Structure 1
Amino acid sequence: MSDPAALSPVRRALLSVSDKTGVIDFARGLSERGVDLLSTGGTASLLREAGLSVTDVSEVTGFPEMMDGRVKTLHPKVHGGLLALRDNAEHLAAMQAHGIAPIDLLVVNLYPFEATVAKGADYDTCIENIDIGGPAMIRAAAKNHAHVAVVVDPEDYAKVLGDLDQHGGKTCPKFRRKLAQRAFARTAAYDAAVSSWMAGAIGDPAPRRRAFAGTLAQTLRYGENPHQRAAFYTDGSDRPGVATAKQWQGKELSYNNINDTDAAFELVAEFDPAEAPACAIIKHANPCGVARGATLLDAYRRAYDCDRTSAFGGIVALNRTLDAATAEEICQIFTEVVIAPDADEAAKAVFAAKKNLRLLTTGALPDPKAPGLAFRQVAGGFLVQDRDNGLVTAADLTVVTRRAPTEAELADLLFAWKVAKHVKSNAIVYVKGGATVGVGAGQMSRVDSTRIAARKSADMADALGLAEPTVRGSVVASDAFFPFPDGLLTAAEAGATAVIQPGGSMRDDEVIAAADAAGLAMVFTGQRHFRH
């Protein structure tokens, strides 16, 4: 039985890396500490060019690299050196009998499979970038972490040298265990990437086994609540958003900040910046104001005027470069996070005085039409579905009432539909003139959502000193069909003049008749946007 508390000397290291970042300095540091270096192919050539003494693995195995590099480390003299228990007499005897020397440190990072897929490479190229020998060696070394240290990330190079210095040329067991966990996680993530890519490549939407993986981006102070531990992981995709953003100022993002910022940016991306500036304000993952405007400042003000109370402490997302005038206006109330494709220097200077406000820039907007997967954990498993990338245009709509919507109503109906897609069900959204004027979210009854949204509009009218609620003369979107006429009639009583909804209820005829009787224009999308 190996002693889990034993220090392990490092006399011989095998280095075989695809990512050459920092490997020369690391190898030199090992050599200066008396460690013999083994290596393969391009890594060995690079180290020799740097003046280091290196033994080729082919010299150890007695076999050249062959089959385009597919076979080079799959050999007992490599895996025996990694897997042998140094305190097991039978293992030591086998090593001596077969001329196997121990390998005390393995440094491997894998063929760039994920990067190859991200570049859009063809099937055969992706297959050739699946590493075989690397994962096999990593798993062998990680299994034998009682004696062997394994390194898969260049960021750990300096830590290895520091551990060797601290323990007189040996590695400590606690550090080896941590390295082993990282190693197993890396091979698991690699296999997850391969299997997920292959499921897509062969057109299997529901493979028998599904794996997801991520890389730690940030350890969070806590989760949704202070008693919950949490961390933020990135999935390696290049979709612009909070995971890829640059944070210019402010304290670290919290769990809730990240969740809400993602919701805000995905929503504002629905509105093409080439058409008009747009702003979305999110509170607790629901929009409390969304608007287009003549300028970004105008869009922000119109979004803010939907629900000023809820906007306090919210997340602001913009679809264009943030300017100083908009930044000044945002600073008039407490805002947690502002996210935009970019921000000019004047805007950054404005925010610099607000040390608790986080400013994030992403360089681009996410594509709302792009495919992707979304998953959610449930007890005993998880649900996987396509990202909701459904969009409708005027051409997709079916007018089902005697009155068709006017051109202005049609524009607002399409705007409202985009917003409703991002509101928790049951979702009701009132829009007028390219701005939300009432949002009802997350209610068990669609009628309640309709009433809440109208009431919020009335409250804002009072706060703004308006003669009547802003919902008067608006249009309304419902994320799913009205099962009865009551919800639609509640919207009509509030002042809505046109309706957009999926249709498909058993009582569609009753709902259409009620709309006709109320003088409403109504269109069906044929598409639902539940968001739970």
Structure 2
Amino acid sequence: MGRIETAVLSVFDKTWISTLGRFLAKEGVALYSSGGTLGELRSKRVPANALEKLTGGKEILDGRVKTLHYNLYAGLLADRENKKHMRTLESQGIRPIDLVVVNFYPFREEVKASTEMAEAQELIDIGGVTLARAAAKNFPQVLVLVDPDDYKPLIQQWKEQNGDIPYEIRLKYAKKAFAYCRAYDEAIENYFSYSAIKRAKKAGKAEPEVLELEGHMELTFSRARNLRYGENPHQRGALYTVSQGLSVPFKVTGGKGMSYNNFQDAAGAFRLCRMPYEKPFVACVVKHINPCGAAIDDDSVRAIQRAKEGDPISAYGGVLGVSFEVDVPEANEIAKTYLEVIVAPKFSPEALRVLSAKKKLRLVEIGKGALEQERERVIAVNEGMAEIPLHFTRTPFGFLVQEEDLKLPKPHEIEVVSDVPLRPQYKPDLMFGLSVIRFLKSNSVALFKDLMMIGAGAGQPSRVDATRIATEKAGRRAAGSLLVSDAFFPFADSVEVAHKAGVSVLVAPSGSIRDHEVIDRANALKLCMVFVADRHFLH
């Protein structure tokens, strides 16, 4: 493939860039950089040249144009095996470029649905994307790196190969570069879609544009990683990302490889934590897709404690999801319970050291920006300002496609139908419970108290059995609690089970032909009965 003699480094995320730059310089590679990257390298005493020396031109338009130059792209795209190409470079004094290290302005992390268009436009990277694509296109002769996590592996590969990086490694990095560009473009497209809907609504259109279920869809799945196995050890499994920007970026550290079931439960934990709640800290424990504990709180450690206490027996070996950075206090609390996976926006270096003692524990870092963006998407969907994401389920008959269940209850959709009024102290638990119940497999019933799920019955063919399980899980804690059902009560038997356990408030959609019997029984037992507008089945 040939030795690397000239490299262009242009990065926003400067993690490890000085380490890579110092190694390359020692290997005799000429480094060219612009703007902040050049400043970073020189501040660490890494010898680097201004990009202008390579291009012969200066950056203009307040930095909007700095790497877009004829000489630069001729050096990237020339075919080194084509003598005519090489004579052209030589006649015009253009230097061939062998390595590009690049990453982009953080559009996905910085731009939210509420960001103004002018601000978002300034975060759309043009030169970086063009650099990555040009280098990746010519990957047999130009190596491209877009991920700081690849710098140290490349250094090791360089040492092993004496600087001659083989075709297979170049192809791997080129593929990663195109995937990175695609995800970046999809984030921009999504923002522009939100902006168009917002603009249409401000213009006074009666109905905002929404995502239609098209007659024809095209999805491209790219394998991101192989899994240890599928749902069972005799089944093969893999994780694929989707072309349409439906995948959340993440990083896994620690423990053994993630399994199919680990990812299923981690996804459930992420979905629950990304919902908007009235408290800043959210924690949940998921076991076999179902949340067995969930809590919101003003204190992060207490949120973790209460999520685990919801069903401490089921929490053993579960997946914990949180909506906040895990630091040492949170890590110490997590370490008290055997858990398989932790899903969080970020883990501090100190927390990583604490949790590294748990040799089997996997840590899934999703990035604060991704969680906040997903939460903003839920809010925007409920304000009619964003498209509702689609959910796909494969069946023997074809793929079932539906909108995700993201609808939040509105005050006018909550109706007290019993003689006993809804006391104000129960309203926070009602709203919390309606957000959580949608993540339990149907038929599902769950009990809530003091912004904590204290018992859940999920996946039951009969609603009264789900109610029995939920109340048994809650035990004595059921006294004075609020019960939420994902669908209507077909009979009054669940009301009687709830009353016997000490439940005070029942919340369910209406729609049963026996609604009047359910209400009458609630009145007879002096229970508060609340009807809501929406069912939340999950199959």
From the CA coordinates, give the structure whose radius of gyration is larger. Answer: 1
Provide the C-alpha distance between the structure 1 equivalents of 2:444 and 2:183, rounded to a whole number of angstroms: 37
Q: Can you give the 5+ residue segments of structure 1 that lack an aligned partner in the other structure?
A: 1-6
1:502, CA displacement in angstroms? 2.4
Q: 1:198 aligns with which of 192, 197, 201?
A: 192
**Secondary structure at the residue paired with 1:38?**
strand
Provide the C-alpha distance between the structure 1 equivalents of 2:10 and 2:305, rounded to a whole number of angstroms: 57
Provide the C-alpha distance between the structure 1 equivalents of 2:26 and 2:431, rounded to a whole number of angstroms: 67
Q: 1:501 aligns with which of 500, 508, 518?
A: 508
Identity rate of aligned residues, in percent? 33
Partner of 1:260 in structure 2? 265
Provide the C-alpha distance between the structure 1 equivalents of 2:156 and 2:28, rounded to a whole number of angstroms: 15
Partner of 1:452 in structure 2? 465
* Counterparts in 2 of 1:297 and 1:231: CA distance versus 1, 3 Å: closer
Partner of 2:408 in structure 1? 390
Given that residues 4 and 99 in structure 2 are in contact (C-alpha distance below 8 angstroms), is that contact kept between their aligned partners in structure 1?
yes
Q: 2:30 aligns with which of 36, 49, 65?
A: 36
Q: 1:225 aligns with which of 205, 229, 232?
A: 232
**Secondary structure at the residue paired with 1:453?**
helix
Provide the C-alpha distance between the structure 2 equivalents of 1:49 and 1:349, rounded to a whole number of angstroms: 29
Partner of 1:4 in structure 2? none
Given that residues 409 and 475 in structure 1 are in contact (C-alpha distance below 8 angstroms), is that contact kept between their aligned partners in structure 2?
no
1:60, CA displacement in angstroms? 4.3
1:188, CA displacement in angstroms? 1.3
Q: 1:491 aligns with which of 494, 503, 511?
A: 494
**Secondary structure at the residue paired with 2:530?**
strand
Q: 2:420 aligns with which of 383, 404, 409?
A: 404
* Counterparts in 2 of 1:82 and 1:516: CA distance versus 1, 3 Å: same
Partner of 2:104 in structure 1? 110
Partner of 2:532 in structure 1? 525
Given that residues 250 and 364 in structure 2 are in contact (C-alpha distance below 8 angstroms), is that contact kept between their aligned partners in structure 1?
no
TM-score, normalised with respect to structure 2:
0.68
CA offsets per residue over residues 249-296 of structure 1, 9 Å max, x none? 97666443454356457658888679xx99865431224466899x98
Partner of 2:205 in structure 1? none
1:384, CA displacement in angstroms? 7.5
1:73, CA displacement in angstroms? 3.3
Partner of 1:188 in structure 2? 182
Provide the C-alpha distance between the structure 2 equivalents of 1:64 and 1:351, rounded to a whole number of angstroms: 48
Partner of 1:20 in structure 2? 14
Partner of 1:285 in structure 2? 289
* Correspondence 1:265-344 to 2 at 5 A: 282-288=286-292, 303-304=310-311, 313-315=317-319, 336=340
**Secondary structure at the residue paired with 1:68?**
helix
Q: 1:177 aligns with which of 171, 175, 194?
A: 171
Provide the C-alpha distance between the structure 2 equivalents of 1:361 and 1:138, rounded to a whole number of angstroms: 25
* Counterparts in 2 of 1:211 and 1:191: CA distance versus 1, 3 Å: farther
CA offsets per residue over residues 468-504 of structure 1, 9 Å max, x none? xx9899865332345xxxx23232454548642223x
1:37, CA displacement in angstroms? 3.1
Q: 1:426 aligns with which of 429, 436, 443?
A: 443
Partner of 1:3 in structure 2? none
* Counterparts in 2 of 1:280 and 1:490: CA distance versus 1, 3 Å: farther
Kindly provide the amino acid, as one letter, of the partner of residue 87 in structure 1. Answer: E
Number of corresponding residues: 486
Kindly provide the amino acid, as one letter, of the partner of residue 256 in structure 1. Answer: N
Supply the RMSD in Å over aligned alpha carbons.
Answer: 5.4
Q: Tell whether 2:79 aligns with 1:85.
A: yes
Q: 2:146 aligns with which of 130, 141, 152?
A: 152
1:339, CA displacement in angstroms? 8.0
Given that residues 428 and 441 in structure 1 are in contact (C-alpha distance below 8 angstroms), is that contact kept between their aligned partners in structure 2?
yes
1:142, CA displacement in angstroms? 0.8
CA offsets per residue over residues 102-133 of structure 1, 9 Å max, x none? 21222222233334326975321221221212
Kindly provide the amino acid, as one letter, of the partner of residue 391 in structure 2. Answer: R
Kindly provide the amino acid, as one letter, of the partner of residue 287 in structure 2. Answer: K
Provide the C-alpha distance between the structure 2 equivalents of 1:223 and 1:63, rounded to a whole number of angstroms: 54
Q: Can you give the 5+ residue segments of structure 2 that lack an aligned partner in the other structure?
A: 198-208, 379-387
TM-score, normalised with respect to structure 1:
0.69
1:370, CA displacement in angstroms? 4.8
Kindly provide the amino acid, as one letter, of the partner of residue 28 in structure 2. Answer: G
Given that residues 409 and 498 in structure 1 are in contact (C-alpha distance below 8 angstroms), is that contact kept between their aligned partners in structure 2?
no
Partner of 2:519 in structure 1? 515
**Secondary structure at the residue paired with 2:176?**
helix
